[in-house]
Structure 1
Amino acid sequence: MEKIKVGVIGCGSIAKYRHLPEYAANPNVEIVAVCDVLEERAKVTAEKYGAQAFTDYNQLLNTVDTDVISVCLPNYLHAPVSIAALHAGNHVLCEKPMATSHEEALAMIKAAKENSKILMIGHNQRFVASHQKVKKMLENGEFGKVYSFRTTFGHGGPEGWSIDGRESWFFDKERAFIGALGNLGVHKADLIRYLLGEVKEVGAFVETSAKKDTDVDDNAVCILKLENGTIGTLTASWSYVAGGDNSTVIYTENAVVRLEDDPTHSLIIHYKNGEIARYQLDKIQTNEEGGQTTSHVIDHFIDAIQNNKTPLITGEEGMKSLDVILAALESNEKGKFVKI
């Protein structure tokens, strides 16, 4: 079988630690081109993977024969570059949040349909072993009625992870559009939708309280009401000065279900009758050193292309998760609950 030719646009940390090594590890893939506005970074990356280097994504799209493009750029470029790549005949894997507005997301979905290409958004929470297991248990009705939930994603901020540190685009409102809520919160919006159903209404407080010299948000607390009436909270933060939190707790009729809330057991179920079930499953991905578990995102995307399958996180799914975050921003701005 002929290898799938991949181009990666943006050679920052998410490309360096996720997309590129995971494409390189997939036997069905050949990385043929990389692009970054910083020529040196593009060259070094290209040398490592035996690819062509570019500083202009349009030049890459117009001169190299690619089947797939990964868009690993600042948020404001997600939509225009994804749309250009789709019109150039590529399947596209775009980092999250997929866009900076509902309209942009719709335009991306339209471009994918027009060109009969797959558009997938890089939400990796759905692939976490504990999340997949609980999804099946919920579907089987093992926990009875879901009463409430809380989900959190917090760490010390992207300066410790981004290739550009504190000078990173993450802190520039023009390029980022949104801070912790878009960087971390959108992952949890996607997870809650995946596990528990669609979000109907959002209330939120969104603040910049920990980071200096920036106007992007670094702390957000949201109240979500789902279509089925369940209420819960979603927290996103860049202000955890020690450790991080990527946990979700679901309170149900038959049990309290703790996901990624314990360093050893990624799933702990406290049943109403006093029994406790503990599961040691594949660990959730972290950005810490030594935390380089696979995200499963790349392999899933390539499999979808090869077997003409609909991926787990389509453009439509990415847009619905983005809409939750956009509603949170609107709620904070207007001081009222926002219906989606």
Structure 2
Amino acid sequence: MGKIRIGVIGCGSIAKHRHLPEYAANNEVEIVALCDKVEERAAELAKEYGARSYKDYEELLKSDDIDAVSVCTPNYLHAPISIAALAAGKHVLCEKPMAISEEEAQQMITAAENNNRKLMIAHNQRFVPSHVRAREIIESGEAGKIYSFRTSFGHGGPEGWSADGKDSWFFKKEQAFIGAMGDLGVHKTDLLRYLLGEEFTEVAALVETSAKKGSTVDDSAVCVLKTESGIIGTLAASWSYVAKEDNSTIIYGEKAILRLEEDPAYSLIVQYQTGETVKYELGGIQTNESGGQSNSLVVDHFIDSIRQDTEPAISGAEGLKSLRVVLAALKSNETKKFAEI
């Protein structure tokens, strides 16, 4: 097999800072085409990467010299573009949240199956070294029975990060569908499912728009979650953490407490019931603050799954399970009752 030939659809910040540099750094990849409805944006990046540029994704998908695409568009376009790409015989790496409804997500999964193509959702938190190590500790039984958790993901908002700043699609309900809970919360529902090795069964949520004037989506959400075995905890997602990003998780077990990405020096601290504390320096998590992004490993995993013909770790089915928690949280906020997942 020669190099995997890549097209990137949507040339905003996530493509510019994550997908394109990571594809460029992978020796098995050739970036051949870029697409954005803002023509100059695609053209400028295409020049940098020696690729063709398109304004219309349907034109890009007609090309026979593209094996796979990244879908880095506003949320409401994730499903239609992914489905079209899969139908055109391309493998798809899609940004999160994978879709804006369960029906759309299911259609994406079906399209991948029907066309025998890979569909991966870009949940990068599963590849963070501290998260991988924490899962091993939990899985091995070293922390004993897990009782509860708390996790939060917040920063000052996408205007400091998005290509369009304050005018970004992130703030427009018709394009984003969901705000901080979809941008950040879905990362954490995926991470917790991965760490705990269990599915969530119930959620109660409060979802508010308090920090971003003129926004039609949520910017602060707090959820109470319960897993099938009865592990309970809280998840906060917010665009109102103005001074510093918070991307931390604490797992409370029978024999140990695991503190993930809480301490600036140690990405994982395990405090044992015996009084012993183990501090791990495993390299940090990617943040939207640190201009230079470290490799998230998402692209490398996607390319490996194509080359080795294996199921990606975060398949469409996995992406849907993480999305369901977010959809249930929205339902809970509307009904003011617990929602079953």
How far apart, CA to CA, are the structure 2 residues paired with 1:273 and 1:2?
54
User: SS state of the match for residue 62, structure 2?
Assistant: helix
Q: CA deviation at 1:32?
A: 0.5
How far apart, CA to CA, are the structure 1 residues paired with 2:91 and 2:209?
36
1:227-242, aligned counterparts within 5 Å?
Answer: 227-242=228-243
Q: Which residue in the other structure is 1:61 paired with? A: 61
How far apart, CA to CA, are the structure 1 residues paired with 2:138 and 2:270?
12
Deviations 1:270-301 (A, max 9, x none): 11111111000021111123441110000000
User: SS state of the match for residue 240, structure 1?
Assistant: coil
**How many corresponding residue pairs?**
340
Q: Does 1:111 align with 2:111?
A: yes
Q: Does 1:321 align with 2:316?
A: no
User: SS state of the match for residue 277, structure 1?
Assistant: strand
Q: CA deviation at 1:256?
A: 1.1
User: SS state of the match for residue 150, structure 1?
Assistant: strand
Q: Which residue in the other structure is 2:226 paired with? A: 225
Q: CA deviation at 1:333?
A: 0.3
Q: Which residue in the other structure is 1:79 paired with? A: 79
How far apart, CA to CA, are the structure 1 residues paired with 2:231 and 2:250?
13
Q: CA deviation at 1:64?
A: 4.7
How far apart, CA to CA, are the structure 1 residues paired with 2:332 and 2:11?
34
How far apart, CA to CA, are the structure 1 residues paired with 2:290 and 2:55?
29
How far apart, CA to CA, are the structure 2 residues paired with 1:160 and 1:138?
36
User: SS state of the match for residue 274, structure 1?
Assistant: coil
How far apart, CA to CA, are the structure 2 residues paired with 1:173 and 1:309?
36
**Preserved CA contact (<8 Å) 1:11 1:42:** yes
Q: Which residue in the other structure is 2:312 paired with? A: 311
The aligned amino acid for 2:81 is V
How far apart, CA to CA, are the structure 2 residues paired with 1:126 and 1:63?
32
Q: Which residue in the other structure is 2:97 paired with? A: 97
How far apart, CA to CA, are the structure 2 residues paired with 1:142 and 1:169?
44
4+ long deviations beyond 3 Å: none
How far apart, CA to CA, are the structure 1 residues paired with 2:250 and 2:171?
30
Q: Which residue in the other structure is 2:263 paired with? A: 262
How far apart, CA to CA, are the structure 2 residues paired with 1:292 and 1:7?
21
Q: Which residue in the other structure is 2:18 paired with? A: 18
- State TM-score, norm by structure 1: 0.99
Mark the runs of 5 or more structure 1 residues left unpaired by the alignment. Answer: none
User: SS state of the match for residue 151, structure 1?
Assistant: strand
The aligned amino acid for 1:223 is V
Mark the runs of 5 or more structure 2 residues left unpaired by the alignment. Answer: none
How far apart, CA to CA, are the structure 1 residues paired with 2:63 and 2:250?
49
**Preserved CA contact (<8 Å) 2:161 2:288:** yes
Among all aligned residue pairs of Structure 1 and Structure 2, give the percentage whose two residues are the same amino acid.
65
Deviations 1:118-162 (A, max 9, x none): 000000000000000011111110010101000100000000000
- State TM-score, norm by structure 2: 0.99
Deviations 1:163-215 (A, max 9, x none): 11000000011000000000000000000000111000010000001000012
Cα RMSD after superposing both structures: 0.7
Q: Which moved more, 1:157-166 or 1:64-73?
A: 64-73
The aligned amino acid for 2:7 is G
Q: Does 1:6 align with 2:3?
A: no
1:99-248, aligned counterparts within 5 Å?
Answer: 99-196=99-196, 197-248=198-249
Q: Which moved more, 1:271-280 or 1:77-86?
A: 271-280
